[in-house]
Structure 1
Amino acid sequence: MASAANLESSSTISSPLWNVSDFDHTPSYCEENVYLLCKRLSTIGVSNKDGSDLFVVFISNDYKQVPLWHQKASKRADGLIIWDYHAICIQMNKEGKVPFQVWDLDSTLPFPSPLAEYVSQAIQPSFQVYPEYQRYLRVVHAPIFLRKFASDRRHMKDSAENWISHPPAYEPIVAEDGTVHNLDAYIKIGASEVTNVSDDLTQIVLSENFGGVVTERQLEDLFLHLSR
């Protein structure tokens, strides 16, 4: 699913605020992990009951090569790894000391991390990368994602129908309307889909099944716009 690249960086890792082991996690199934994470955060009262303060963010690009730092699956000291895609949850709390925070079950950064810290340390937009490593982010409102997302895990089988990575023990996730697989629509992310941060984009994120797409440098601006 991923491989390390020859990119250099350094930053400080602080202690987690929550125990990641208290949440369901299956390696290589980040889309299902974030689905269950959103459900659990709303169930235990960490987020709104309807998940309206949560957003699912898919990170990928046209080449399916996105570098992220501080990832547990990395074999490097700086935690750098190249994912084909990754999925995280961003929580918005207008009243809190930290208005936006990131929940990434695969990260060694604090759990959760302030959005600004996560962007600077895990995404590192200031680090110059080749065009094929540019990251684009699909932002989907969690209440919509929890109703519409579906995966029968076909993407994790090879041509002989063998598992590339062992699947979770629970049954595959089926959408409320009976759809059995639409993961490809979430992870197909490219430069052509990027939209400028505006009221129109916030409306798209809050209402469209597959949300809206921004660059790594637009992510914080989008959440500032969403919080108005």
Structure 2
Amino acid sequence: MEFPYAASYCEENVCQAVLHCLREHQSPEEELSVVFISSLTRAVPLWCQRSSTRSDGLVIWDYHVILVRSSAGSSAVLDLDTTVDNTSISNNSKEGYRKAKFLAFNEYAEATFQPSTALQPEYARLFRVIPAADFVACFASDRSHMMILAPTNSDDDSAATERYPTKYLVPVPSWDCIIGSRAGAAGVSMNLPIYIDMTTAPGESTDLADGLAYGEVLDETAFLDRFRFYA
């Protein structure tokens, strides 16, 4: 399958993938879940990542986002930045798109999380799981987390803003900023930090005053138990 893709915007890539799956490939028996992976210290080790310069593909992300598809007795993962099963996946099929496929959950999890590898407590991975339909309706990003202000010697911040316009750390996606229907109705234009925040107790849902759905946070054992297929 071919999905819209922009480097460093994994949350938006997954949102686009959800829309693609709902439009083209979703069957009534399948359940799609968007999964944010982070930690209390915003540092999580993931292996088999394309951006790594190491042979094992290890990267310490502040957060990462994947899509899990579940049906009777099995689960699969779509990660547009993985090198697992790289033989059948090309990098960018054309500008702004990436070819990728869903991988068996067990295979992906073993290669990417390496559960048998002992981690320091600060790297303990936590997983925010959100039903995909809720995510596309409730997610909003103005991309301000990717903006920087060019250095200036001026003490006048307002003047600096005018003379040194805001720039992006990396090029923005080709599509417009994403504001889900429920987020827009609630007047929310940026809630990405809420999805990344893992301070909600594992197993508890996040229920905020804006009435939007943010899923639940699971520790690694609970996450693997929920989606792992036991033959």
TM normalised by structure 1 equals 0.77
Output the aligned Cα RMSD.
2.3
Distance 2:143 2:81 in 1: 19
Counterpart mapping for 1:103-114 below 5 A: 103-110=78-85, 111-114=101-104
Secondary structure of 1:101 counterpart: strand
Deviates more, 1:148-157 or 1:173-182: 173-182
Matching residue within 27, 34, 42 for 1:48 = 27
Aligned equivalent of 1:188: 197
Instruction: Name segments (4+ residues, structure 1) moved above 6 Å.
Output: none
In structure 1, list runs of 5 or more residues that go unmatched: 1-17, 202-206
Distance 1:184 1:215 in 2: 19
In structure 2, list runs of 5 or more residues that go unmatched: 86-100, 151-165, 206-210
Higher relative strand content: 2
CA contact (8 A) 2:140 2:180 kept: yes
Distance 1:52 1:182 in 2: 27
CA contact (8 A) 1:52 1:143 kept: no
Which structure would you say has the larger Rg?
Answer: 2
Per-residue Cα deviation, 1:69-118 (whole angstroms, up to 9, x for no partner): 000011111111011100000000116xxx10000000011332111111
1:38 paired with 2:13, answer no
User: In the superposition, relative to structure 1, how do residues 152 and 208 fare at CA in structure 2: closer, same or farther (>3 Å)?
Assistant: closer
Distance 1:141 1:131 in 2: 28
Matching residue within 35, 45, 51 for 1:67 = 45
Identical residues among aligned pairs (%): 36
Distance 1:159 1:126 in 2: 42
Aligned equivalent of 1:58: 36
Aligned equivalent of 1:165: 170
Structure 2 residue identity aligned to 1:209? A
User: In the superposition, relative to structure 1, how do residues 93 and 52 fare at CA in structure 2: closer, same or farther (>3 Å)?
Assistant: closer
